[in-house]
Amino acid sequence: MVCYRYDGTLEGFLCALALCLESGGGEAEFLRPGAESGAGLFAGVPRDVATERETALRFRERFVTAVSRDAFATLRYAFHSEAAGVEELLWRYVLVGLKQGKRLEHMLAQEPVCTVNRLARAVSHEAHKFTGFVRFREVTWPVGDSWGEGDGEKGTSFLYARIEPAVDILAFIAPFFTERLNDRDWMIHDLRRSQAAVFNRETWRLVREVELTSPPGYTADEEVCSRLWRSYFQRMAIPERHNPRLQQQLVPLRFRAHLVEFGGEES
């Protein structure tokens, strides 16, 4: 078994898949940074995979041509599930796809297609939920902090949202908010993975290792709007129709820590 160590990104994983195919295929293990091989004494020295956008794009084009765009989208969603052993599962998915071609999408009862599709659906559903559960709040750009040229200047304000999704969904929800909220700078911060999607009114990009060193500084206008929104949410409730069980089904407890209307992140 050959081990391939990549940088943990989808682009890096596609480069690892391409290298594995060039090496003749066979059994393979894919390691993220800091991960140890599960092969124990039989593990060889991991091959470090360079992340090259051109290589990733060539692999994508090869797979799309052989199978379909939908099948590649399924692979992409499943990769972000962060499930244990998902890389090896997707490697088998790729081998079946390159062998079976367009028939792959109709092999839903067979492995690994069944499991890959199940993981992809779970990520898609989580991303869809968060398009409605992201709450932006206006904050002041941190003094001395910057995520790149054009991302903001100290003293200005931008929109900031905190989330803690069960899977890695930033790459799927960022385009959604880019289309609908393109007149302001904003950031969606995934606290669980210490990464953020940052938008500068032109493009968005993923920034890793983003940590809060202090509570966000909300603007005066934001403080007023937050209080008004909480008051509106409470006054609109009809006591006679209070149904906590239904409310928890519609808005699960795990989302509420960052929802202003439920008292999340109170100033």
Instruction: Print burial letters for 156-168: b (CB count within 10 Å at least 16), e (below 16).
Output: ebbbbbbbebebb
Structural contact between residues 230 and 237, judged by C-beta atoms closer than 8 angstroms: no
SS3 call for 36: coil
Claim to verify: residue 66 and residue 155 sit in the same structural domain: no
Token representation of residue 264:
């999340």
Residue-level pLDDT, tens digit, the chain, 267 residues: 788 899 999 999 999 999 999 988 788 899 988 777 665 545 567 889 999 999 999 999 999 999 999 999 999 999 999 999 999 999 999 999 999 999 999 999 999 999 999 999 999 999 999 999 999 999 986 644 545 444 555 557 899 999 999 999 999 999 999 999 999 999 999 999 999 999 999 999 999 998 888 878 889 998 999 899 888 888 888 888 888 898 888 888 898 889 888 876 654
Query: Considering 123, 154, 178, which residue would you say is the last residue of a domain?
Result: 123
Q: pTM of the full predicted structure?
A: 0.86
Query: Considering 79, 99, 123, which residue would you say is the last residue of a domain?
Result: 123
Element (H, E) at 199: strand 195-199
Q: Render pLDDT for 173-185 as a digit per residue (tens, 0 to 9).
A: 999 999 999 999 9
Claim to verify: residue 256 and residue 138 sit in the same structural domain: yes
Claim to verify: residue 79 and residue 196 sit in the same structural domain: no
Q: Is 250 exposed, middle or buried (0-12, 13-18, 19+ CB in 10 A)?
A: exposed
pLDDT computed for residue 261 by the predictor: 87
Residues counted in the chain: 267
Claim to verify: residue 139 and residue 255 sit in the same structural domain: yes
Domain that holds residue 43: 2-123
Q: Render pLDDT for 185-221 as a digit per residue (tens, 0 to 9).
A: 999 999 999 999 999 999 999 999 988 888 788 899 9
Supply the Cα-derived Rg of the chain in whole angstroms: 22
Claim to verify: residue 83 and residue 168 sit in the same structural domain: no
Claim to verify: residue 116 and residue 36 sit in the same structural domain: yes
Claim to verify: residue 139 and residue 250 sit in the same structural domain: yes
Q: What is the tally of structural domains in the chain?
A: 2
